[in-house]
Structures are given as structure tokens and as C-alpha cells.
Structure 1
Amino acid sequence: MMQLMMFDTPRSAATRPSRLSTPQDAVADIAGPAEVSPALHGFGGLHGGIGLALALRAVLDSGLDETQVRSIQARFSRAVRDEVAVTVDAPDHDRTIATAHATLTSRGTQCVSMSALFGRSKVALRDVTPPMPAYAAPTECDEFAMPIEFVPFGAFIEIRPTTAERPYAGGDDAHLAAWIRLRDDPAPVDLARLVILLDALAPSAAATMTDLVAFPTVELSIRPAPGVHTTTSPWMLLDTRSTVSADGWVDESLSAWAPDGTFLASASQIRLANSL
């Protein structure tokens, strides 16, 4: 069996912010602890997608090939509030796969653990991906303003719902779907932006509620599709549904497409309901 070659030339650390102020900072490198702006907070701490993008970027900067990422698993055990540091373990290599691990800490306390699975196969299979739902284009959908006093990170996100469901509107279906992108960012969706945007919609369970409840992410599992490396649009269609909701825990299923119908990723997410 052919040995898997996982390493490219490491990326240069052109930008090393000492303060994280925008989502774009999360796709750059950070050296040592970085100050976290409250503007990047989600439910009480650093937005989960931003934290995951930081960990992923650190792993990729070790020389691993971004196009070979098959799975990203993250567990959020504590909120990152005012400071964050990233550590990366040496990748574990097998003949056909490699696994990389990264950790986010805040003032010495572990807050987020992430693992990424890399691999490739020489066997050609027929491509099978879910078809994109028949929703209107982004330009035909009205913008939904996320309340930034509730989730400050929402100021960086442009959301255009494609259905009648809205968060905390007391609907019948625990489902949300919307075109979504980073505001004032013309760059197309890439892997780092994908993980940020997958965690950017309100919890789908909130569509059936009327009282404001925080739903921080506890676990997020992402399976990127090859299309995320070729899309040319900053827009992403995100379709989310709560598959299980019980005892204050919510299990969500997520799917994402580019405007041309290219499938970008599937994901599953576990959230914990907390009172404000």
C-alpha cells in the first residue's frame, strides 16, 4: 500500500495578531496568547466557530494538506473569554491516514479540544452528495438581523433566511435555513470560513421557542466535502434541523451548499440549553 504523503510546505506566519477582533483574524496565525475582543463572543464566550477555526489553522500551519481533511471533531468544555492560546501536538501518521490534535487554553485552563482526520484514497468512486433544497437565491431573500446584545458575534454575519422559520418565533418546526456569509468579506468560503459559518446560525431548536435561552455548542463534528476547496462564492446555504431535543440537550444535523448547488459539508452539533 502506498505511503500517504501528508506534508506540504508550511504556511508562512504573515499575520500574527495579538488581539482577535474580527472573524478574519481567526484564519491567520497567532503566536502565544492572544486577547479576545468581546465583539467575538457568542453565548458568553468566544464564538465556537472562531475557536475551531483558530485550532484548525494551527494544525494546517504544521504542514498538513488542507484538501485532505476528512473530518473535524471539536469539544467545547469551557468558555474562552478574554485570552486564548493554541497548542498543537505532532500528527499521528498511518499508511493512509493522519490525525492531528490542537487545544485552546485560556490562562492555563483547557477550553477546547480539536482533532482532524486527514487521508486520501486512490480508489475512484462515483460522487454522491445531497441535492441542494430549492430555495430562493441570496439576493431574493431579506436579511435577518441577529440581536448583537444577545450574541455580539452576530454583527459580523449576514443572514438571509430562506424559509418562514425564525429563532424564538414559537413555530412548529425545529428547523432553520438561510444563506449566510461573513459580512464585508468578499473571499470565497474556504475550510476555515466553513467551520465559522457552520456554527453561526441560531440553534434550530430556538425556532419553536419564545423565551430567550442560550445554546452554547458542546460538540461539533464536521465532514467537509471536496467542493469547499473549489467554490468561488462567499455565500453558503446552511440548512439545520434539531433531530433530538431532550433534558436540555439538543442534537442538530447541518448541511451546507454553495449557490451553484455544490455540496460543501455535513455536520452534527450538540448544544446545551442554559438560562441567561
Structure 2
Amino acid sequence: MTMTSSDETRVDPLWRSWEGAHGGWVAGAALTAVRDRFTGGDRPVRTLTTHFLAPVGAGPLRFSGTGPMAGRRTATCLFTGHQDGEPVVMGSALFGPARTGPAHEGLPAPDVPGPDDCPALELPPELAPFARQLDIRPATADRPLSGGPRAELVAWVRFRDGRTLDAAAVTTLADVLPPALYARWRAPRPVPTAELTVHFTDALGEGVLEGWTLVRIRTEHAGGGWAVDDSAVWSADRRLLATARQARVVREVAGQTAAGTVNS
């Protein structure tokens, strides 16, 4: 097992979130560093897990990693991202080639109108500055901060810069919608991600992907100041690209009730 260090990764200031750099973008940057610098870039990524230790600021990130630690069928790299000499993220990436075996489509895309039939949504820039880099079009009646009955959001999303939908971009998309609890609340509060795990499908290797994706996020459980969100990303032609699960910290905000409404 060898330890290697990467060159510095520049944190894109356009991808700021409430308390620092957008978590999905940071996880995607970690994957790029691991794949290109530690594993040679020739193995498809299967799983990426990222633990967020502190908000990532505007300074450069430097990743160090072990690996790859190869098994009979897979290779794993452990990584840590440092900023100003302090660890801010750590995690692991699992790589492995495609193999013959049974197939199962257990998570079909939601039956929703296409992006041309859905209105655009502008997220408040003070809450989600990074959203200016995206075209977001809700595909159901659920909206952030609408006080609705379900903790779920579904939207068509595409990058305004037209980037290719590689694994790093899909990692960003898995975390790009607001926390699903926002669909039930009427006032915002910080809900930072503590851990994000993304599982990728073979659809990412089936030609160049770009343009619209369909993204769904929903809260599976919340309580005790924590929430668990599940998300999924499909291509424009409804192929599943990735699934993700993340643990979030639900922070209290002065003047708000547990339901997220402002006390009178």
C-alpha cells in the first residue's frame, strides 16, 4: 500500500453553497483526483464515499491517497483532502470492470413530463449560489419551501456549461437538489451533508452523455437532528446513471419550530 499526493485542486468559486463549496462538487473533485492521479484512470468507478469533516473554503484542495489496493475483482483507493494543512474531506473509491451477469432494473425513472413541459425554478442565490450554474425544472408539484405533504423533490437538471456527464458530474447531480425536507418546510435552515455515497451504473460507459438528467431526492428518515436522503440520477432517455444516499445534519435555527415555520 503506497501513499501518494496530488497536485492542488482549485475550488471553483461558482460552486459555493450555504456554508462552503457544494458537497457534490467537492466529492466529484475528489473522484477526479483519485481516478486520474492514483488509479491511472482506466477502471470504471463503482462506488464513491465521501465524509465531510469541515466546510471547504475558497483555498486550494490537496488530495493524498493510498492505492490502488487491488483485490481479485476490484481496486480501492482511500483519500483525504486537505485545505490549509487541515483535513476537510476523506473517503474511498471502489473501481471494477464490467462483467457478465444477471441484470435487474429495479429503479425506473418517474413517469413525469419532459423538460420542455416543465417550468424553470430559480433557487434563492443567498441559499444556493451554485444553482446559477444549472437549469432546474421541477417535474412534479413538489417545490422547495412550499410546505407540501411529501419530503421529495423531482426535477430535470442540466449544466449550463454543457459539460459531459461523466462520473464526477453525476456525483454533483446526485447532491444538486435541495434537501428533500425542504419540500415540507416553509423556511430554510442549514442541512449540511456529513457523508455521501454514490453508486454508479454501467450506463456511464455506454457512449458520451450530456444534456438533461432527471434527478429525484427524498428523505427516508429524519430525527434527532439528522436526516437520511436517497437520490437517483437518470439520463434524458431514462437510463439510471447513479443512486446515492447521504447523512445530513439538521440544524436548528433561532425563531423556527421543528416544522421549519417561523414562530410568530
Q: Shorter-chain TM-score: which interval?
A: 0.7 to 0.9
Find out whether 1:58 has 2:33 as its counterpart: yes
Question: CA distance change for structure 1 residues 125 and 67 in 2, over 3 Å: closer, same or farther?
Answer: farther
Aligned twin of 2:216: 239
Find out whether 1:186 has 2:195 as its counterpart: no
Cα distance, 1:178 vs structure 2: 0.3
Cα distance, 1:267 vs structure 2: 0.9
Aligned twin of 1:266: 243
Cα distance, 1:186 vs structure 2: 2.2
Aligned twin of 2:192: 216
Please tell me the residue identity of whatever aligns with 1:273: V
| 8 Å CA contact retained: 1:165, 1:176 | yes
| 8 Å CA contact retained: 1:54, 1:86 | no
Cα distance, 1:66 vs structure 2: 5.7
Aligned twin of 2:152: 175
Question: CA distance change for structure 1 residues 165 and 122 in 2, over 3 Å: closer, same or farther?
Answer: closer
Find out whether 1:78 has 2:54 as its counterpart: yes
Provide the alpha-carbon RMSD of the alignment. Answer: 2.0
Q: Distance in 2 between matches of 1:101 and 1:128?
A: 30
1:91 is paired with a residue whose SS is strand
Cα distance, 1:243 vs structure 2: 0.5
Q: Distance in 2 between matches of 1:34 and 1:59?
A: 12
Q: Deviations over 1:55-87 (max 9, x none)?
A: 101111134446521111111111111212222
Aligned twin of 1:94: 71
| 8 Å CA contact retained: 1:67, 1:226 | no
Question: CA distance change for structure 1 residues 79 and 214 in 2, over 3 Å: closer, same or farther?
Answer: same
Please tell me the residue identity of whatever aligns with 1:187: R
Aligned twin of 1:3: none
| 8 Å CA contact retained: 2:67, 2:76 | no
| 8 Å CA contact retained: 1:38, 1:152 | no
Q: Distance in 1 between matches of 2:31 and 2:98?
A: 22
Choose 261-270 or 115-124, whichever is displaced more. Answer: 115-124
Q: Distance in 2 between matches of 1:118 and 1:80?
A: 26
| 8 Å CA contact retained: 2:20, 2:55 | yes
Alignment of 1:96-175 (within 5 A): 96-120=73-97, 122-175=99-152
Number of matched residues? 246
Please tell me the residue identity of whatever aligns with 2:130: F
* Percent identity for Structure 1 against Structure 2: 30
Calculate the TM-score normalised by the size of structure 1.
Answer: 0.83
Alignment of 1:193-208 (within 5 A): 193-208=169-184
Question: CA distance change for structure 1 residues 217 and 66 in 2, over 3 Å: closer, same or farther?
Answer: farther
Q: Distance in 1 between matches of 2:125 and 2:159?
A: 15
Q: Distance in 1 between matches of 2:7 and 2:235?
A: 35
Q: Distance in 2 between matches of 1:51 and 1:233?
A: 20
1:177 is paired with a residue whose SS is strand
Choose 226-235 or 191-200, whichever is displaced more. Answer: 226-235
**Equivalent residue for 2:16, pick from 41, 46, 71:** 41
Stretches of structure 1 that go unaligned for 5 or more consecutive residues are 1-29
2:181 is paired with a residue whose SS is helix
Please tell me the residue identity of whatever aligns with 1:44: E
Cα distance, 1:101 vs structure 2: 1.7
Q: Distance in 1 between matches of 2:111 and 2:99?
A: 34
| 8 Å CA contact retained: 2:214, 2:238 | no
Question: CA distance change for structure 1 residues 123 and 215 in 2, over 3 Å: closer, same or farther?
Answer: same
